[in-house]
Amino acid sequence: MISSSAKIGKNVVFGENVVVEDNVVIGDNAVIGHNVVIRKDTVIGEGCVVADNTVLGKKPFKASASATTDEKELPPLLLGKYVTVGANCVIYRGATLGDFVFVGDLASIREDVEIGEYTIIGRGVAVENKTKIGKYVKIETNAYITAISTIEDYCFVAPGVTFTNDNFLGRTEERKKYFKGPTLRKGARIGANSTILPGIEIAEDTLVAAGSVLTRNTVPRKIYMGVPAKEYKDVPVEQLLENQSYYKG
What CATH number did the domain enclosing 94 receive?
2.160.10.10
Higher pLDDT, 62 or 85: 85
Cβ proximity of 109 and 115 under 8 Å: yes
- Non-local (6+) Cβ contacts of 159 within 8 A are 122, 140, 141, 142, 143, 192, 193
Write down the H helix ranges in the chain: none
Q: Are residues 86 and 180 in the same domain?
A: no
* Model pLDDT for residues 105-118, shown as the tens digit of each residue: 999 999 999 999 99
Q: Are residues 32 and 118 in the same domain?
A: yes
Higher pLDDT, 170 or 210: 210
Evaluate whether residue 111 is within a structural domain: yes
- Non-local (6+) Cβ contacts of 82 within 8 A are 45, 46, 47, 48, 99, 100
pTM more than 0.95: no
Evaluate whether residue 118 is within a structural domain: yes
Q: Are residues 123 and 206 in the same domain?
A: no
Evaluate whether residue 97 is within a structural domain: yes
pLDDT attached to residue 67: 62
What is the tally of structural domains in the chain?
A: 2
* Model pLDDT for residues 66-108, shown as the tens digit of each residue: 666 667 799 999 999 999 999 999 999 999 999 999 999 999 9
Evaluate whether residue 2 is within a structural domain: no
Q: Region 225-243: what's the mean pLDDT?
A: 97
**Domain span including residue 51:** 26-60+74-136
Q: Are residues 158 and 103 in the same domain?
A: no
Cβ proximity of 148 and 165 under 8 Å: yes
- What does the mean pLDDT of the chain come to? 95
Evaluate whether residue 1 is within a structural domain: no
Q: What percent of the chain has pLDDT over 90?
A: 88
Q: What residue type is 38 in one-letter code?
A: I
Higher pLDDT, 66 or 62: 62
pLDDT attached to residue 78: 98
DSSP state of 216: S
Cβ proximity of 229 and 210 under 8 Å: no
Q: Are residues 38 and 115 in the same domain?
A: yes
Evaluate whether residue 131 is within a structural domain: yes
Q: What residue type is 168 in one-letter code?
A: F
What's the rounded Cα separation, in Å, for the pair 178 and 165?
8
Is the pLDDT score of 63 beyond 90? no
* Model pLDDT for residues 119-139, shown as the tens digit of each residue: 999 999 999 999 999 999 999
Evaluate whether residue 11 is within a structural domain: no
Q: Are residues 111 and 40 in the same domain?
A: yes
Of the candidates 118, 128, 155, the residue with the CA atom closest to the CA atom of residue 139: 155
Evaluate whether residue 15 is within a structural domain: no
Q: Are residues 131 and 30 in the same domain?
A: yes
Cis bond before residue 228 (omega within 30° of 0) = yes
Q: What residue type is 200 in one-letter code?
A: I
